[in-house]
Structure 1
């Protein structure tokens, strides 16, 4: 990931969105601004940013991890809170593997039954 992640220069490629789909980019920016508004939400901004960090870790989006970690710290998150968010993400991702493993067993059973006929 580090081979192609360039915090400073990657942003220049936003120009493609600006030139090709400016309406969608504007709608996305407005949506993002609403989700991460400093005031007027039930979940405090620090916790929304910690959720975003955890989701970024789970989806392995280095841009989300970078940006939302910085924003979480700015909103008052501690290293301990970031660590717990990372562990929450890890647990959920592992739980997904566990749950999908059960599907493999289910599909295996279905395949075995289908081949018996």
Structure 2
């Protein structure tokens, strides 16, 4: 059986390095700019908490691991991590609610001739 989300998965970055090194380098530079410690309007702790909420939303275990630890390193508390997770949950629930209306719209035959 194949194991998913293993720490050893990082070893496969070598494929990116071998096949698309220019894109990998650009991605790394982009990520460094986004998460630069200084020079941004939003303090690093809050950018990391945003990343935690997005990671919870996308359910990327690698990002949850990395950005949760980076958020704590930047000064985030467990309470702040919890609130970031609840923000993600609220947005996912809100998205389901809003898009659920499409079920009514797409089955509304009252306007047909």
Secondary structure at 2:40's aligned position in 1? coil
**Whole-Å separation in 2 of the counterparts to 1:20 and 1:93:** 35
The residue that corresponds to 1:95 in the other structure is 94
- 1:22-80 CA distances to partner (integer Å, 9 max, x unpaired)? 01000000000000000000000000000000000011111110100010000000000
Report the number of matched residues: 111
SS of 2:82's partner is helix
CA distance in 2, matches of 1:73, 1:87: 17
- Measured after TM superposition, the shift of residue 10 of structure 1 is 1.0
For 2:5, the equivalent position in structure 1 comes to 5
Q: Distance in 2 between matches of 1:104 and 1:20?
A: 43
Deviation at 1:5, TM superposition (A): 1.3
Normalising by structure 2, we get a TM-score of: 0.93
Partners of 2:28 and 2:4 lie apart in 1 by: 24
When the two chains are superposed, the root-mean-square deviation of aligned CA atoms in Å is 1.2
Unaligned runs of 5+ in 1: none
Which residue of the partner structure matches residue 47 of structure 1?
Answer: 46
Q: Supply the distance in 2 between the matched residues of 1:95 and 1:75 (Cα, whole angstroms).
A: 29
* Equivalence for 2:79: 80
The 4+ residue runs of structure 1 with deviation greater than 4 A are: none
Looking at structure 2, the residues matched to 34 and 106 of structure 1 have their Cα atoms a distance apart, in angstroms, of 42
